[in-house]
A and B are shown apart, each in its own frame.
Chain A
């Protein structure tokens, strides 16, 4: 089945620790996105990538880093510089070959502080 796989489903971070959230897609989509969702709020864009080896900061990139070495994979690292990392993290992807394509989401990773 084609889709977007995020892992792990739940993640706990200790003080001062970097953690990496995985996002893999087999939809052959060029564009991938990372969002953060806090309780009762909409989605805020952290980073996005349109092609391999290229990515752009979103609205709240501070304290996060990404890489895009393969088309299928767009991992997100939450660094120790992110002081309030507790949130629901969502990865999305989108086809670029046609205009007006929607984004489709993975199941998300819930990150908490230990």
Chain B
């Protein structure tokens, strides 16, 4: 079983719709969760971080965390063509209590927003 798994995609939504990206993780001790956006040929950029159960909103983005289900998601409201990118879920691993800030990444979900 992969440590961090994302819905396989690719995901295609019409402009203005809600895009829903999902991620599950296997390490129950994980404490920090991040969503990165990566445009084709570019490096990842941080768009959301979440540490507590529940929802966290930032503009059109909402991150949701459920530690009991080991599940984290990213919702993009009013999707725009400029949101078309690969979205990477990253989990701060907890190796025996000394994680050294090591992130484990999912394989990414390609999102396409069509006009």
Report if A41-B103 is in contact (Cβ < 8 Å); known contacts: A90-B43, A102-B49, A104-B46: no
B88 within 8 A of A: yes
Report if A50-B100 is in contact (Cβ < 8 Å); known contacts: A41-B108, A42-B106, A102-B34: yes
B residues in contact with A53, CB < 8 Å: none
Number of A-B contacts (CB under 8 A): 58
Interface centre among B32, B42, B100 (most CB of A within 10 A): B100
B27 within 8 A of A: no
- Interface size grouping (class) on chain B: 20 to 34
Chain B interface main SS type: loop
- Rounded to whole angstroms, the CA-CA distance of A23 and B94 in the bound complex is 26
Report if A31-B101 is in contact (Cβ < 8 Å); known contacts: A41-B108, A100-B51: yes
Report if A105-B102 is in contact (Cβ < 8 Å); known contacts: A42-B88, A100-B32: no
Nearest CB of chain B from residue A109's CB, rounded to whole Å: 10
B25 within 8 A of A: no
Count residues of A near B (Cβ-Cβ below 8 Å): 25
CB atoms of B32 and A48 under 8 A apart: no
Q: Which residue of A lies closest to B48 (CB)?
A: A102
B107 within 8 A of A: yes
Report if A103-B100 is in contact (Cβ < 8 Å); known contacts: A43-B44, A90-B43: no
Q: Which residue of B lies closest to A49 (CB)?
A: B100
CB atoms of A31 and B100 under 8 A apart: yes
Which residues of B82-115 have CB atoms within 8 Å of chain A's CB atoms? 88, 90, 92, 100-103, 105-108
B residues in contact with A94, CB < 8 Å: 101
- Rounded to whole angstroms, the CA-CA distance of A33 and B99 in the bound complex is 13
B residues in contact with A41, CB < 8 Å: 107-108
CB atoms of B43 and A103 under 8 A apart: no
Report if A42-B100 is in contact (Cβ < 8 Å); known contacts: A100-B51, A106-B43: no
